[in-house]
C-alpha cells in the first residue's frame, strides 16, 4: 500500500508505505504463524510503520497476528488501521471456511453498519489487536461490488449515514480512533461520503 491510494482530508498520514493484512489472514494460501511473524519482523526491520488490517481478513486471524507481533512495540512508533461493517460472531456452526478456505475461523460475519454494530466492531478489534486506540477506521466494502450485502449498497449506505458515520465521529472525539473514512473498491461511495459526513481519509483499494 502507498499513500497514492489514500485521499486525505483532515488526517495527515505519518507514513509513505504500509503493510496490508490480507495475506496474513490466509486469504490466498495458508501462511503459518512462523512465516507470518517473520514477514512482520522483516517489515518492521525495513522501517514500515503503517499496518492495515480488518476483521474480514481471515475472520479475525490477521488482527490477532498483527496484535501479537505489535504488543511489545512502542505504540507511538507505528500507525494501525482497521475496518468496520463486518461484525464477527463466534458460532459452533460457523461457515467461515466458505469465505476463507485457508483460515480455520470459529466466526461468522454479519454486515452491520449501525452505530452499535460499528462500536462493537471497533471494541472487538481493539481486543484482538491488544491496543487502546486505532489510528484510522475504514467503513468496509460499502459499495456496489460487494455481492454479500443483504440489500442494495445504497440502502446499506443510508444505514451508515444515520449510524456508522456519526458514531465514528463520536469515537474520534472520545479518542478511541484518530480518524475515519470508508474503504471501498469503487469511487461513488467515496464521493458520496464527502457530501454526507465528515470523514478524514478514504481508501480506494482498486
Q: Kindly list the catalytic residues.
A: 57
Lookup: cell for 181: 473514512
Contact 143, 205 (CB under 8 A): no
Q: Which one, of 80, 91, 67, 146, lies nearest residue 113 by Cα?
A: 146
The alpha-helical segments, DSSP class H, found in the chain are: 33-45, 61-70, 96-99, 115-129, 153-162, 164-174, 187-196
Cα distances from 35 to residues 38, 78, 181, in angstroms, run 5, 21, 31
The gap between the terminal CA atoms of the chain, to the nearest Å, is 11
Amino acid at each position: 500500500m502507498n499513500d497514492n491510494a489514500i485521499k486525505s482530508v483532515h488526517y495527515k498520514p505519518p507514513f509513505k508505505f504500509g503493510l496490508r493484512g490480507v495475506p496474513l489472514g490466509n486469504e490466498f494460501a495458508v501462511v503459518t504463524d512462523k512465516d507470518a511473524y517473520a514477514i512482520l519482523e522483516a517489515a518492521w526491520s525495513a522501517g514500515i510503520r503503517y499496518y492495515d488490517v480488518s476483521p474480514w481478513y481471515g475472520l479475525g486471524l490477521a488482527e490477532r497476528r498483527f496484535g501479537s507481533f505489535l504488543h511489545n512495540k512502542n505504540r507511538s512508533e507505528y500507525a494501525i488501521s482497521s475496518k468496520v461493517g463486518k461484525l464477527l460472531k463466534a458460532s459452533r456452526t460457523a461457515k467461515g471456511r466458505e469465505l476463507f478456505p485457508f483460515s480455520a475461523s470459529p466466526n461468522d460475519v454479519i454486515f452491520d453498519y449501525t452505530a452499535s454494530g460499528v462500536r462493537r466492531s471497533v471494541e472487538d478489534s481493539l481486543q484482538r489487536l491488544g491496543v487502546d486506540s486505532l489510528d484510522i477506521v475504514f467503513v468496509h466494502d460499502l459499495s456496489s461490488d460487494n455481492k454479500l450485502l443483504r440489500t442494495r449498497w445504497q440502502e446499506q449506505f443510508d444505514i451508515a449515514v444515520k449510524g456508522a458515520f456519526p458514531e465514528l465521529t463520536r469515537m474520534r472525539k472520545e479518542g478511541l480512533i484518530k480518524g475515519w473514512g470508508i474503504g471501498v473498491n469503487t469511487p461513488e461511495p467515496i464521493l458520496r461520503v464527502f457530501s454526507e459526513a465528515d470523514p478524514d481519509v478514504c481508501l480506494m483499494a482498486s
